[in-house]
Each structure stands twice: as C-alpha cells, then as structure tokens.
Amino acid sequence: MAQIGGITVSGPSENGDPVAAGALPTRPSAEGLPARVAAAVGRLGDDEAPARGGPVIDGFAVEGAAAAALLAGAGGGRAQARPRPLPVGPPDGVDGFTAAGTADLAGDAADQAPTRRGSALLLSGSLGMGHDVMAEACGASLARRGFTARTADSLRMLGGRNGSRGEKVFRGMIAVPGLYDAVHFSQMRTGGRLALAIERASSRYVVPALREELTEQPTDLVISIFATGAAATSRVKPEFPGLVTAVFSTDCCVHRLWVHDNTDLYLVTSQTAARYVRRFAPGALVSVVPTPVREPFYDPPTQEEARAALGIPADAPCVLLMSGSWGLGPLVEGAAAMAAAGIYVLAVAGRNKPLAARLTALAERQHKVIPFGFTDRIPALMAASDLVVTSSGDTCSEARVIGRDLLLIDVVPGHGRDNLQKELERGHAEVTNTDPVSLTRSALACLDRVKPPSDRVAIGPQAWEQAFGSALAQIGFGAHW
C-alpha cells in the first residue's frame, strides 16, 4: 500500500478482480458531497486537515481530498442527452479536415463579425501548458468575433496553497509506475465509482468559486478546457439563465470526467474523440475541429537559417528533444546517449528548473547538446532539427505544421498513452521506450529514413477559425447573435 499526496492506494485483489464497493450516489447537490463520498475524500483547500479513511472503491482506497483535483483535471461527469445528433465533418483528410475551401476564411470571418460584444470565460488548468495554449487559441478566436474573453484556472479555484495541491498529487501519481494507468483505464475511461467520487469532490470546491466569478462578471459563454471546470460549470449553469456552455478536449479518448449534464457543445479534435463523448452522452452535440496551432509555427525560419543561428553544421544529424513543460522522462540520459552517437541534441527542459540545470551541466561536457529552459524559440528549434523527439501532446501538431517527423517517448501514462496511439495513426511518427539505448537506436533509425521536411499538414490556421466559428454558430453565436 502506497501513500502519495494524501492518497492511499491498495492494489487489486489477488485474483486480479477489483474489490467491489457499494453503489455511490450519482447526483450530489452542488453544496456538498454525499456522506459516503465525503468520508472518502476529506477536505480540499485545507493543507492542515488530517487524512481521512475511506471506502475501497473498485480496488482503490482513497484518503485525502487532493485526489479530486488531480484526476478530474488530468484527463469531468454525468452525460447529457441532447435531442439533436451531431455531424462531425467529412471522413477524409487529417481527422476529417482538408485544405479545400479554407483559403478565404479570414475574410469570411470578418464578414461574419457579430453585431454586439459578448463575454466569454475560458476555464483552463495549470497542469503543464497544453490547456493554457488551447485557451489562448479559443480566446484569440473569440476576440476576433467581438467577444471579451478572460481565462481562469480551475485548479486555483480548488483552494489550498495557491491551488498547487492538485499538481503535486498528479505528479506523485505518475511517479509510481502503473498507478495512474490503473486509475485512468479502470476508472476514468469507464466512469467508475472512483471517477464519480473525484468529480463530486472537486466540484464541491470549484462550484462556489465559479459561482462567484459568474456573479461578479456576467458571462454569455463558458468554455471548459479542463475537466474540473467542466464539472463545476454543469452544476452552476441552472443558476444563470441564458448561459451557454461548451467543453474543448484535445484528448483522443475523452474520458468520463469530461462529459456532463448541461453541456451545450463538445469540441474535440478527432472522430474517435467524438465517439468517446457519445459513449456517455449518445445525443450530445459534438463538433470535430482541427487542433489549433500557434501562428509562429506557420512561419518558421528555414533549416539553414535556424542552424546557422545555433551553430549547427548544415549536414549534421540533429534532433529536438523535449517532453512538455514538465520535462518528463529521462531527457538528460537520452540527450547524453544521442550526443555520444554523433547527433546534435537541442534539449528543452520547459519549466523544470532542476532539469534545465542538469542539461546545462551535460552541455559543458558534451558540446553536441544545446540546452534550453523555458523558451519561445520552439518553432526555430523544430526548423533546425531533422526529427522531433517528444512525448504525446499538442507539440505533435506543431511539428507536423513545420514538417518534422516525430519519435514519441512512451512516458506519459493514462491519457498520454491514448494520445500516443492517435499520433501514430496520424502518421510520420514512431514510438520508442524510455531507456537511453532504445531511444538512441530509434532516433538513428528514424534519421536514416527521414529527410525533412516531411509532408506538411495541408491545413492552415483558417481551418481552425472556420471550424470553431461553425461550432459556435450551432449554439447560437453566429454572425448576428
């Protein structure tokens, strides 16, 4: 039995079957948790609260409420049945999108500008940068349509010490091999009892904060880009007549905690994700949209220009090595092994300061390693490289826009493994293990095969604008709303 960040976890029974528990209520009030769930999860936002014992739920014993933030956000809910089915776009192209018909969309968007301004709230979550990047894309598109958009952090709404507890617990979960996989695949994707308990616990604390936010700043549209926010929005929506709510998830397999009552629209980035939404909400309104990519990736320097700026020989093999803003995985060991094999390695630590220090120390010994901390130069680093070595995530879409093949490190458990499958299906991607020997062998093999640029994604930024605008029109925010 292990205790991580206030969660005590016991494994499955000896015969491999989960330990059954009695049924939990499925629809608590917004004011608090059912007594049985409250006993399981204790208090959020009180760092001095003692851990509390709880029932065994499908093989896991839960103590300490921090688990609610972590799991609800990392991957929301009861499903909503809607009377209208959803068209999810044509089957051809990349996840149903082609370049055809997108050339003049910027002008179309201007012609369809709304006749009055509205207010939109984007609910993100500070686990890595992916949620914030998607919130930024939505906010920019809403601004072009006349909205005043603001962003709030769902994890901060949980309280505690600056809302950091959820992140700490999530880090603890993924640090134990197999733990987050077990929770994700047995509970989150299936909507198990533990997933529902997590949803209720997180909503208990996020709902009052969200209610206050919406009361102080009247809002027309809430888009949840973090599952914790989606759950809370579903609960407060009846209190705010006229409020329209949407969920935007870039996960391949949208799990149970994303899908809620009172959600008017789901935005997803693949046909598979649309079907996972309808697993829990068969009548849901779902729109498949391209993954938005930041503008600098559409106008990178040439490889020659980028390499000259970095001092990399034009004919040398070069990879970009990164793994999200947390810098997950053995990046130092991988960078050292690849550099020893003759590869220039542009190694990015993200916001992981200890990792940045270790990469800097490595670069002093191995001059083929060029280290970076958190940087906005990723488009240029991708342009300089022959291959992008990274974990599954939205970075993959950015690499495809620039025209770089991917070598994916299987390092993000749970939803990360789902998304890795999606990226492999999209093509121009291989997968490798996390040990330095496997990573280096795979990198060398990929470098022998690929000569950049690979086929660039034949979709420009206008495709996102068109799809996003069409989706908004389905929920009443068309040209003249």
- Phi, psi torsion values for 260, nearest 5 degrees: -140, 160
- 260, 247, 251: which is closest to 195 by C-alpha? 260
pLDDT surpasses 50 at 14: no
pTM over 0.85: no
Which residue has 């960040």 as its token pair?
A: 5
When pLDDT is averaged across residues 382-402 and rounded to a whole number, the result is 93
Q: How far is CA 320 from CA 12, 19, 53, 352, in A?
A: 40, 45, 46, 17
When pLDDT is averaged across residues 9-35 and rounded to a whole number, the result is 32
> What is the token pair recorded at 250?
């870039």
Distance CA 238, CA 308 (A): 58
pLDDT tens, position by position, 188-241: 899 899 888 888 888 888 999 999 999 999 999 999 999 989 999 999 999 999
Distance CA 247, CA 405 (A): 30
Q: Model confidence at 161, in pLDDT bands (50, 70, 90)?
A: low
Domain chopping of the chain, boundaries? 301-449
pLDDT tens, position by position, 439-467: 999 999 999 998 777 666 556 788 999 99
When pLDDT is averaged across residues 87-103 and rounded to a whole number, the result is 42
The β-bridge partners of 120 are 149, 221
pLDDT surpasses 60 at 274: yes
The radius of gyration of the chain's CA atoms, rounded to the nearest angstrom, is 23
Name the least confident of 25-29, 74-78, 299-303, 416-420. Answer: 25-29
Sheet containing strand 405-409, strands side by side: 369-372, 344-348, 318-321, 387-390, 405-409, 429-432
Q: Specify the pLDDT at position 5.
A: 35
For residue 206, count other CB atoms closer than 10 A to its CB. Answer: 31
pLDDT surpasses 70 at 163: no
> What is the token pair recorded at 10?
């016991």
Q: What one-character-per-residue DSSP string does 354-423 give? A: HHHHHHHHHHHH-TTEEEESS-S-HHHHHHH-SEEEE-SSTHHHHHHHHT-EEEEE----THHHHHHHHH
- Superfamily for the 301-449 domain: Glycogen Phosphorylase B; (3.40.50.2000)
Q: Specify the pLDDT at position 283.
A: 95
